[in-house]
C-alpha cells in the first residue's frame, strides 16, 4: 500500500504553498519603500511597515547589529586594549596613564560600531519588511541562511 503524500494533491493548495514560500524568502529582488511607485502598493506596504510587529523587529535588528559590530570592533582593536592591561600590571598605579592608553581602543571600537550599524541598517533593515528569520540574515548576510 503506497504511503500518503505529506501535502494534498490539490493544485490550489500547491499554488498557495508556493506563494507562501516565495513571500517568506528575503531575496535581493524584494521591494524597498523607495522603489514602489504605485500608490495602492505603497499604502499596503506602509500599513505593514508601520505595524507594531515590524517596529519591534526593527528595534531587535538595531540591537543585533549593535552587538555584532561591537564584537567586531573589539575583535579588530584588541591589541589596543593590551596597552592599558600592560600599564595595569605595573607596580605603581597610574590611573590617568591607563585611561589615556585605553582611549584609542575605545575610539576605534566606537567608530567601527557606529559605521557598521549605520551601513547595515540602511542596507538590510530600513525600508524593507522584515520577515521571520531576519536575525540570521543580519548576522550572516550570505545566501546560505534562509
pLDDT digits 0-9 by tens, 55-110: 999 999 999 999 998 888 888 877 777 777 777 777 676 777 777 878 887 888 88
pLDDT of residue 1: 53
pLDDT digits 0-9 by tens, 23-44: 444 444 467 888 888 899 889 9
Helix ranges (DSSP H) in the chain:
11-24, 39-49, 52-76, 78-88, 95-124, 134-139
pLDDT of residue 143: 59
* pLDDT class of 119 with cuts at 50, 70, 90: very high
Q: Who's near 94: CB < 8 A, 6+ residues apart?
A: 87
Mean pLDDT of 1-30: 46
Q: What angle do CA 138, 142, 146 make, to 5 degrees?
A: 75
How many Å separate Cα 28 from the centre of its chain? 15
Using CB atoms within 10 Å of the CB of residue 62, give its burial: 0 to 12 exposed, 13 to 18 middle, 19+ buried. Answer: middle
Amino acid at each position: 500500500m503506497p504511503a500518503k503524500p505529506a501535502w494534498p494533491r490539490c493544485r490550489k493548495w500547491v499554488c498557495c504553498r508556493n506563494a507562501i514560500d516565495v513571500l517568506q524568502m528575503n531575496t535581493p529582488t524584494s521591494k524597498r519603500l523607495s522603489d514602489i511607485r504605485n500608490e495602492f502598493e505603497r499604502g499596503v506596504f506602509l500599513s505593514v511597515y508601520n505595524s507594531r510587529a515590524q517596529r519591534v523587529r526593527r528595534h531587535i535588528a538595531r540591537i543585533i547589529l549593535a552587538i555584532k559590530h561591537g564584537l567586531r570592533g573589539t575583535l579588530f582593536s584588541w591589541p589596543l586594549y593590551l596597552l592599558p592591561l600592560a600599564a595595569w600590571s605595573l607596580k605603581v598605579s597610574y590611573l590617568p596613564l591607563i585611561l589615556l592608553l585605553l582611549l584609542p581602543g575605545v575610539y576605534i571600537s566606537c567608530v567601527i560600531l557606529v559605521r557598521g550599524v549605520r551601513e547595515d541598517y540602511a542596507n538590510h533593515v530600513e525600508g524593507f519588511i522584515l520577515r521571520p528569520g531576519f536575525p540570521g540574515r543580519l548576522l550572516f548576510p550570505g545566501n546560505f541562511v534562509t
